[in-house]
Amino acid sequence: MRDRRQSGQVAVETAIVLPLFVFLILGTLQLGLMHQARLMAKYAAYKAVRAGALHNADVKKMERAALAVLLPMISRGSGGTESMMTVNSAADFQQKWMWPEVMTNRITATNIPYAKVTICGPVEGDLGGASGEVDFDNPEKITSSGDWKDSQRSKLRIQLTFNYRMVIPFADVVIYNIARAKELPYVIRLGKQGDTTRQAYIDKDMGDYDTAAGQKVYVVPIRATYTMRMQSNLYLGKNKLPKDNTCLFSFQE
């Protein structure tokens, strides 16, 4: 009887500890990849704003420049599994660059772009009602207003959002739910069941991310900002500036 009780106790303890142990290993791998993606996003933000400084703040060109940097971290699903092709040569780069996901800048089966560039500044009000071609080197065409600092008149400020698709199974579900501050499964929390309808973090709009998660595609946004002096004039109308600073700094879209 004692051996049976001990065997049953071991089985219960294993059932409790095993999921945590598995998550510890897989979660460490996934967090390591996310840290690498964060470092790549910082460099991609630099390349994006540089492309914008040279090409009249063209958002599409900035996003393509960012994608070229982020290419090694881009993955896709295949047969229910995630795969990430390494880029070790020019041939590898060319092959992966031709992926439909990269060409369209869309994560497979979702409406989420891999790279999204948001112009933080200048905004429309900063240019004092200017129209047509705006010469950033001519202070007479750009008037100060509000908190628009003189040193920022000729600088392009952008925020890059790298929507990183997690590739490690099991860890992707848990990390996504943690990032969304949702209730975790009872077996993971090992605590009170609680109200499963509660959501501590309310976002402006997480519809696309949640829709992707419903399809078992788990995506987390990684953001980086960068500022660079403009090297080319901005053409208002062709490259529309935002009315307000809409850069985001939380888990929202």
Contacts of 172 (CB under 8 A, 6+ apart): 30, 82, 166, 218
Residue 83 pairs in a beta bridge with: 76
pLDDT reported for residue 10: 74
DSSP reduced 3-state for 139: helix
Average pLDDT on 185-195 reads 54
Average pLDDT on 171-190 reads 72
pLDDT reported for residue 174: 86
Whole-angstrom Cα distance, residue 232 to residue 52?
9
Top-confidence residue, 71 or 250? 71
Residue 121 pairs in a beta bridge with: 157
Average pLDDT on 52-60 reads 91
Residue 60 token pair: 């599409």
Average pLDDT on 161-184 reads 85
Whole-angstrom Cα distance, residue 24 to residue 218?
18
pLDDT tens, residue by residue, 93-121: 999 999 999 999 999 888 899 999 999 88
Banded pLDDT at 129 (limits 50, 70, 90): low
- Does pLDDT of 242 surpass 50? yes
Banded pLDDT at 251 (limits 50, 70, 90): very low
Using DSSP bridges, classify how beta strands 219-229 and 133-134 pair: parallel, antiparallel or unpaired. Answer: unpaired
Q: What is the mean pLDDT of the chain?
A: 80
pLDDT reported for residue 237: 66
Q: In the block, which residue shows the tokens 């003189």?
A: 150
- Does pLDDT of 252 surpass 50? no
pLDDT reported for residue 198: 42
Whole-angstrom Cα distance, residue 128 to residue 123?
10
* CB-based burial label for 40 (10 Å; 0-12, 13-18, 19+): buried
Contacts of 119 (CB under 8 A, 6+ apart): 52, 57, 59, 156, 157, 158, 241, 242
Q: In the block, which residue shows the tokens 């004039």?
A: 233
Which amino acid is residue 44, in one-letter code? A
Which amino acid is residue 149, in one-letter code? K
DSSP 214: H
pLDDT tens, residue by residue, 131-168: 677 777 766 655 555 444 555 667 889 999 999 999 99
pLDDT reported for residue 78: 63
Top-confidence residue, 191 or 66? 66
Average pLDDT on 74-80 reads 75
Banded pLDDT at 51 (limits 50, 70, 90): very high
DSSP 219: E
Cite the beta strand spans of 39-132 per DSSP E: 76-78, 81-83, 115-121
Of 60, 61, 67, 56, which is closest to residue 96 (Cα–Cα)? Answer: 67
Dihedrals φ, ψ of 81, to 5°? -120, 160
Top-confidence residue, 10 or 31? 31
Average pLDDT on 72-77 reads 89
pLDDT reported for residue 7: 67
